[in-house]
Amino acid sequence: MTAPHVIRVLLVDDQPLLRSGFRALLDLEDDIEVVAEAGDGAEGLALARQHVPDVALVDIRMPRVDGIETTRRIAADPALAGVHVVILTNYGMDAYVLDALRAGAAGFLVKDVLPEDFLHAVRVAARGDALLAPSITRRLIDRYVSQPALPATDSALCLEELTSREREAVALVARGLANDEIADRMVITPLTAKTHINRAMTKLRARDRAQLVVLAYESGLVTPGSRRAGPDLPGPASYRHRVRGPASRGA
């Protein structure tokens, strides 16, 4: 009988008390193993290269090398392509959210997250799914709303490489739909929906679904509150980049 996969986690935070608390919670789970801890980004990067974890939980503000730069270096290292970075943040850190997603973060968790949501989030991230806490998603959308329209970007030009169905699938991902919901909306199978999303990620060079969401907004494919991705799209309140509820199938 094949042994269940154990999710290997790296903790990177400059506050020892927080690291201890997260580790104590993770150590209670049979399918999760904390392989190392680091007190800053430079040490975290070295340990990531040494242990190659499935998930790196990284504080956004640290001495020497901060969480955004740590994420950027992990994402740029081919040897760490399988490492999914989840940024640990506090409320009021909105200015860093978009930068971290652009750097390659798979998502965010606020540090006062409930224990069960924290554990679920680690499993979701290990699976490669986008992970944005609802409160952060809402404020990220608001930030886009407040910004003036942007000129054409490289992202917009890359969208020209997508088929119409791939563009539709990307827009639905940006609206927060899971693969089975995208399949229902497009009247295709979940496997075909997943294929459209994976091909779009490859063409756009998106590391994961979180970056796909950012690209969709930056390119203008989706605008907050619009219905450009198809009829009867859910509004921002229906976004499902969340840590609560059963895990959905990822791309």
Domain assignments of the chain as residue spans, ordered by start: 7-131, 143-219
In contact, 107 and 136? CB cutoff 8 Å: no
**Token pair belonging to 81:** 């392509």
Tell me what pLDDT residue 15 has.
93
The mean pLDDT value for 126-136 works out to 66
Task: Return the CATH architecture of domain 7-131.
Answer: 3-Layer(aba) Sandwich (3.40)
Q: What is the pLDDT of residues 225-240, one digit of tens each?
A: 544 444 333 333 333 3
Same topology, domains 7-131 and 143-219? Answer is yes
In contact, 186 and 169? CB cutoff 8 Å: yes
Distance, CA of 240 to CA of 230 (rounded, Å): 17
Task: Say what the pTM is.
Answer: 0.64
Give the lowest-confidence range in 67-76, 134-143, 238-247: 238-247
The mean pLDDT value for 49-70 works out to 93
- Alpha helices by DSSP H, 27-114: 41-51, 67-76, 94-103
CATH of 143-219, one of 3.60.120.10, 3.60.110.10, 3.40.350.10, 3.40.50.2300: 3.40.50.2300
Q: At residue 2, what are phi and psi to the nearest 5 degrees?
A: -70, 130
